[in-house]
A and B are shown apart, each in its own frame.
Chain A
Amino acid sequence: MDNKVAIVGFRMAAAPDIEITRERLAFNLTRGLFDDLGIERDDVGTTIICSNDFLDGRTISNVFLDPHVGAYMKDESKVEMDGLNALAYAAMRILSGQYETALVASLGLTGSQASPYLHIEYTMDASYDRPMKLLNELAAAALQAKSYLAEHGYSEGLLDEVAAKDLANAAGNPNQARRMPGITAEQVAASAMYYEPLRELHCYPPTDGGCMMLLASEKKAGELCDKPVWILGMGRSTDNYYLGDRDLATSLSASQAAAKACEAAGIKDPAGEIDFAEISSLFAHQEPLFAEAMGLMESGKAPDAYRAGDTAINGRLPINPSGGPLGGHPISSTGLIRAAETVLQLRGEAGENQVTKADVALVHGQDGLCAQQSVVFVLGT
């Protein structure tokens, strides 16, 4: 990308139940971010809110958050998909030249407020899938998992290994909602079966949370922070809605979004040039599936990569050192939290989860049934 946009700061939170009102959560995160940066609401040029009307139970749910994120009498707009879509929207507003700063504010309360599964249940085709009553988020994910494992001849044990790795990483991350210190692959394999091959601990937990992030133009970034993280590339892609029309063994949306983001960032060999990745794998199988689709892992070699520890925090190409969405999935915020965790790593501030080499990273977000849509960012120092 010719013009540069930086992430200059963020605040995030996640818990099984955040135990405060959504308005206070939005205010606390935004006020905290402003205090971190020493700014006031007048220093924010434009605001993009990411929330889900259906899960909020209110249409145009952003209007209820405007006071708390300081957006009254401003150019505020809303995205209803993953937070990374909002990040792309905000970055484009800065790239337009009209604004020097943009606030991205995302909230999702599916731990205490409403079931996370409602979101997908009511995005399904009302004239076909809903009357058929065969599909739901978990059944669809299971079909994707089955297809992916069968394509490569992988055993179901891969899912236990992936989940155990992510949950162990999540246990060391104070920003995660599901924290299970000492979790083992055997414990994952003993959790309740939902839809074969997916068990409870292969699936994301219901989560409350949010993430606020401030973007700035190159000119402004230096004034606001010492360690700006740059958006080097971004890409999005939308696959077919109908599962039966897709190749579920891979993800076209992820591969195409990653190809666009890497091209913009001048990256030709993702596996060789990307230092680590934060991937929105809502289910265990999605982490290697997306990693293979995005060129971070050799296709057909996922079990070898996990067994060798390549994806671990101290591995060759760490994936989800934060623990990923198996540690928390506040719908609307999940992708943005992946970006925030990436910024922590790139700044060398990820504590016990810090990876050794952190100069260039890939961030993935998704929305829809089995990641019908993917958004990918390449971020760097």
Chain B
Amino acid sequence: MGATEEAYFTPVVPMDFTYNYRVGHYLQRYLDGFKEKKVLGAKCPECGQVVVPPRKYCGSCNKVREEFVELSQEGTLENFTVGHVTLVKGKLNEVESPYLVGMIKLDGADNLLLARVEGLPVGEAKTGMRLRAVWKDQAEGDYSDLDHFEPV
């Protein structure tokens, strides 16, 4: 500690406030689809692009995506990273074993879905690999139902 060092006042900013975000019926239908182990996307009437998860408003066209489309549960690994750390509340933590975060193009979709990729050593992941969805046994209409993707 140098002579200029000063004391900190260390308030813990109470970010445990509860916010009620209306999810909207597009994400609600996406999660309802999970209960039946279905993956839904939404299609823009203007540009024709199908996005997953379904989001109501197309940012590029400023139009309402009116049509829901059921997507394949198989797709291609387009991009991925291997995580050697996690970030929780801004703090870097090391992990015991590296893990894969993938960006997957489901057949029938025009954008990429972020998901955990498992079922192979992390060093063997390659873009272009074919992957399929792996569901929890008991789907409950929660994001965690679509647990991860694994090689076909």
Q: Which of A26-34, A135-143, A308-316, A345-353 contacts B (4 or more CB under 8 A)?
A: A135-143
Stretch from B32-40, B81-89, B132-140 at the A interface:
B81-89
Q: A127-B21, A127-B27 are in contact. Are A118 and B114 (CB under 8 A)?
A: no
Partner of B6, one of A20, A122, A142: A20
Task: Say whether B21 contacts A142, CB under 8 Å.
Answer: no
Given A195-B82, A243-B114: A127 and B90 within 8 A (CB)? no
Please, which residue of chain A has its CB at the minimum distance from the CB of B53?
Answer: A128
State whether the Cβ of A153 lies closer than 8 Å to any Cβ in chain B: no
Count chain B residues whose beta carbon lies closer than 8 angstroms to a beta carbon of A.
Answer: 39
* Chain B residue at minimum C-beta to C-beta distance from A122: B15
Q: Say yes or no: is B120 at the interface (Cβ < 8 Å to chain A).
A: no
Q: Would you call B119 an interface residue if the criterion is a C-beta within 8 Å of the partner chain's C-beta atoms?
A: no
Q: How far apart sit A116 and B27, CA to CA, in the bound complex (Å)? A: 30
**Contact between chains at A143 and B79 (CB < 8 Å):** yes
B5 CB contact (under 8 Å) in A19, A147, A244: A19
Min CB gap B96→A, angstroms:
14
Residues of A contacting B60 in the complex (Cβ-Cβ under 8 angstroms): 240
Assess whether B101 is in contact with A143, with CB atoms less than 8 Å apart.
yes
Looking at the complex, which one of A132, A195, A243 makes contact with B112 (CB distance below 8 Å)? A243
A156 CB-CB contact with B under 8 Å: no
A225-251 vs B, CB cutoff 8 Å, 1 = contact: the mask equals 000000000000000111111001000
A121 to chain B: closest residue by CB: B90
In the complex, the chain A residue whose C-beta lies closest to that of B105 is: A244
In the complex where A57-B11, A134-B115, A243-B112 touch, is A118 in contact with B79 (Cβ < 8 A)? no
Per-residue CB contact flags for chain A residues 127-164 toward chain B (1 = under 8 Å, else 0) read 11001101111110011001100100000000000000
Q: How far is the CA of A124 from the CA of B13 in the complex (A)?
A: 19
A299 at interface by CB-CB < 8 Å? no
B5 — which chain A residues lie within 8 A by C-beta? 19
Contact of A139 among B2, B4, B83, B111 (CB under 8 A): B83
CB proximity to B under 8 Å, residues A1-23: 19-21
Chain A residues within 8 Å of B81, by CB: 139, 142-143, 146, 195-197
Smallest beta-carbon distance B115→chain A, Å: 7
CA distance A180 to B114 in the complex (A): 36
User: Nearest B residue to A140 by beta-carbon distance?
Assistant: B81
Residue A73, interface by CB 8 Å: no
* Cα separation A243 to B101 with both chains bound (whole Å): 13
Check B82 against A196 for contact (C-beta < 8 Å).
yes
Q: Which residue of B lies closest to A117 (CB)?
A: B90
Q: Which A residue sits closest to B81, measured CB to CB? A: A142
For chain B, residues 110 to 147, give those with C-beta under 8 angstroms from any C-beta of chain A. 111-116, 127, 143
CB of B21 within 8 A of CB of A150, answer: no
Tell whether, in the assembled complex, residue B111 and residue A136 are in contact, meaning their CB atoms are under 8 Å apart: no
Interface string of B65-91 (1 = CB under 8 A from A): 000000000000001111111110111
Task: Jot down 20 A-B pairs with beta carbons below 8 A, ordered by A.
Answer: A21-B6, A115-B91, A118-B89, A121-B87, A121-B89, A122-B15, A126-B21, A128-B27, A132-B114, A134-B115, A138-B87, A139-B87, A143-B79, A146-B79, A146-B80, A150-B127, A194-B83, A194-B92, A195-B101, A244-B103
Which B residues have a C-beta under 8 Å from some C-beta of A?
Answer: 2, 4-6, 11, 13, 15, 19, 21, 23, 27, 51, 53, 55, 59-60, 79-87, 89-92, 101, 103, 111-116, 127, 143
Residues of A within 8 A of B (CB): 19-21, 57, 114-118, 121-122, 126-128, 131-132, 134-139, 142-143, 146-147, 150, 192-197, 240-245, 248
